[in-house]
């Protein structure tokens, strides 16, 4: 049996318990910060509304801030929002904070209705309070990222001391292991058990020795680094680890992780694992459609002066129509006409269409600027309102390109499981513009397929936020 330390971490010593000793006070600080922020947001909201309306706030109604604060921290605590390793996950924290905040406000509204005290609550105060509190809680999450990013916090505020077991030496520079400590796992021992089918007695003694040493180190749980081809040993190892009262977790390789991360349904004592997710549910489609319509209408109203200016510049720059329409495929392969500002001297829409290249002679003077800034895509907001497209999704290609790549790339058709978008996961990850090789298109399709399989409303918001920087710093022509 080989015994190793994890990366540059030292073997367990009594000083390692300092991290655990600091966890509880730090969690209390985080809880107190949330509660005080909520309370101060209510006081500030009441003062601002009173100042704006020249009215006197009812001091008794300050209790509403206390109720919301208590409900929020209680729900957050039971949802493990204040676990140190959870605080390191910014996206998860923001999603939970917003959800729990909305639930807490709902509890306030229901309590006020049942207690017949709605007259004591100022609607203006509650609206300002909801906005200030929500923004404050989100800002606080960014603040904890900075605090926990310090070397002191990383070395002191870890959550769990764990023993890592594997059947072979591990590469601790790989993505599978390098962020363990950052995510709250303090690996105090790494044991390489090996696989020796010829001597079960020796292997059993090794496992029992691991358990004995782990008890001396007072570890919180066990991590098993098992690969796909080592799965038969998992059941055998699990049998011996039943002797320990701590949690035992599997740290799988990519093959296992892909399977266990998928949804499943119970079927007669076993499970059916989802290999391909269905199209978005009715509720998911409703979320996405509300976001599409709301943002598209707002953008069209705000951008109307820009759109009219661009239309005039196109008309003055070269003869032809202002809007260029081209046939594309949407959800489930349904064809539609996509709208774009015309940027070329040609309007190709046939069986053979050449992609735009760098210094393409077909691109007009104003068209080069429009393509570089992606302003030429803005008329697609109309496609979004019509329901042909979404704000976020796989970028639609010309029919000629669809037919060509569909025969070469096996997963290409999977892109049509969702509406095409103005922007997409591939585009914000650097795959924007020309795809002169099959490898580049395969990479784009890989990102598109991942998006379709992992869609969430939060992912759409993230992509929309990253689109601005992608347009500014990625080259397109």
Residues 138 and 122 in one domain: yes
Q: Which of 273, 297, 316 represents a domain boundary (last residue)?
A: 273
Residues 289 and 324 in one domain: yes
State if pTM tops 0.85.
Answer: no
CATH of the domain at 167: 3.40.50
pLDDT tens-digit series, residues 277-323:
777 888 888 989 999 999 999 999 999 999 999 999 988 888 888 88
Whether residue 115 is predicted with pLDDT greater than 90 in this model: the reply is no
Residues 250 and 304 in one domain: no
| Residue 179 belongs to a domain | yes
Whether residue 194 is predicted with pLDDT greater than 60 in this model: the reply is yes
Residues 300 and 403 in one domain: yes
| Residue 193 belongs to a domain | yes
More confident residue, 38 or 159: 38
Whether residue 99 is predicted with pLDDT greater than 50 in this model: the reply is yes
pLDDT tens-digit series, residues 244-264:
777 888 887 777 777 777 777
Residues 230 and 362 in one domain: no
Q: Which of 102, 132, 152 represents a domain boundary (last residue)?
A: 152
Q: Is 441 exposed, middle or buried (0-12, 13-18, 19+ CB in 10 A)?
A: buried
Half-sphere exposure (CA, 13 Å, Cβ side) for 35? 16
- Between the alpha carbon of residue 88 and those of residues 83, 149, 156, 157, 366, the distances in Å are 9, 8, 14, 11, 46
| Residue 88 belongs to a domain | yes
Residues 244 and 339 in one domain: no
| Residue 1 belongs to a domain | no
Whether residue 23 is predicted with pLDDT greater than 60 in this model: the reply is no
Q: How far apart are CA 298 and CA 294, in angstroms?
A: 6
Mean per-residue pLDDT of the chain: 78
Q: Which of 224, 255, 273 represents a domain boundary (last residue)?
A: 273
Whether residue 373 is predicted with pLDDT greater than 70 in this model: the reply is yes
Instruction: Count the helix, strand and coil residues of the chain and give each as a percent rounded to the nearest 5.
Output: 60, 10, 30
| Residue 467 belongs to a domain | yes
Instruction: Provide the residue range defining the domain that includes 377.
Output: 282-473
pLDDT tens-digit series, residues 411-435:
888 888 889 999 999 888 887 766 6
| Residue 8 belongs to a domain | no
């Amino acid at each position: 049996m080989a015994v190793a330390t994890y990366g540059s971490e030292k073997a367990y010593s009594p000083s390692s318990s300092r991290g655990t000793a600091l966890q509880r006070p730090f969690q209390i600080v985080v809880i107190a910060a949330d509660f005080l922020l909520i309370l101060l947001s209510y006081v500030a909201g009441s003062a601002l509304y009173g100042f704006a309306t020249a009215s006197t706030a009812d001091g008794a109604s300050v209790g509403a801030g206390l109720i919301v604060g208590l409900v929020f921290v209680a729900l957050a605590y039971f949802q493990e929002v204040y676990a140190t390793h959870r605080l390191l996950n910014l996206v998860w924290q923001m999603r939970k904070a917003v959800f729990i905040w909305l639930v807490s406000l709902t509890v306030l509204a229901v309590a006020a209705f049942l207690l017949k005290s709605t007259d004591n609550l100022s609607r203006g105060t509650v609206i300002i309070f909801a906005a200030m509190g929500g923004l404050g809680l989100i800002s606080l999450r960014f603040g904890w990222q900075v605090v926990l990013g310090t070397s002191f916090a990383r070395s002191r505020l870890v959550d769990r001391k764990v023993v890592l077991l594997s059947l072979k030496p591990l590469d601790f520079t790989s993505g599978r292991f390098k962020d363990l400590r950052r995510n709250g796992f303090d690996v105090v021992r790494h044991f390489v058990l090996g696989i020796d089918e010829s001597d079960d007695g020796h292997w059993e003694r090794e496992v029992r020795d691991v358990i004995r040493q782990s008890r001396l180190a007072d570890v919180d749980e066990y991590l098993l680094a098992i690969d796909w081809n080592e799965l038969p040993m998992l059941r055998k190892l699990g049998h011996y680890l039943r002797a320990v009262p701590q949690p035992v977790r599997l740290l799988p390789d990519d093959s296992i992780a892909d399977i266990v991360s998928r949804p499943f349904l119970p079927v007669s004592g076993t499970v059916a694992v989802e290999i391909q997710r269905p199209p978005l549910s009715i509720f998911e489609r409703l979320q996405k459609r509300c976001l599409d319509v709301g943002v598209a209408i707002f953008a069209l109203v705000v951008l109307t002066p820009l759109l009219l200016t661009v239309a005039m510049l196109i008309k003055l720059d070269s003869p032809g129509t202002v809007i260029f329409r081209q046939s594309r495929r949407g959800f489930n392969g349904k064809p539609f006409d996509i709208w774009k500002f015309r940027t070329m001297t040609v309007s190709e829409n046939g069986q053979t269409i050449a992609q735009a290249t760098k210094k393409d002679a077909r691109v007009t003077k104003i068209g080069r600027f429009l393509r570089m800034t992606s302003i030429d895509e803005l008329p697609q907001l109309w496609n979004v309102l019509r329901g042909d497209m979404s704000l976020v999704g796989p970028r639609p290609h010309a029919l000629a390109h669809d037919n060509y790549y569909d025969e070469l790339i096996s997963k290409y058709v999977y892109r049509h499981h969702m509406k095409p978008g103005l922007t997409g996961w591939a585009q914000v990850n650097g795959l924007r513009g020309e795809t002169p090789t099959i490898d580049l298109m395969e990479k784009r399709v890989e990102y598109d397929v991942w998006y379709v399989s992992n869609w969430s409303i939060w992912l759409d918001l993230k992509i929309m936020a990253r689109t601005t920087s992608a347009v500014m710093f990625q080259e397109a022509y």
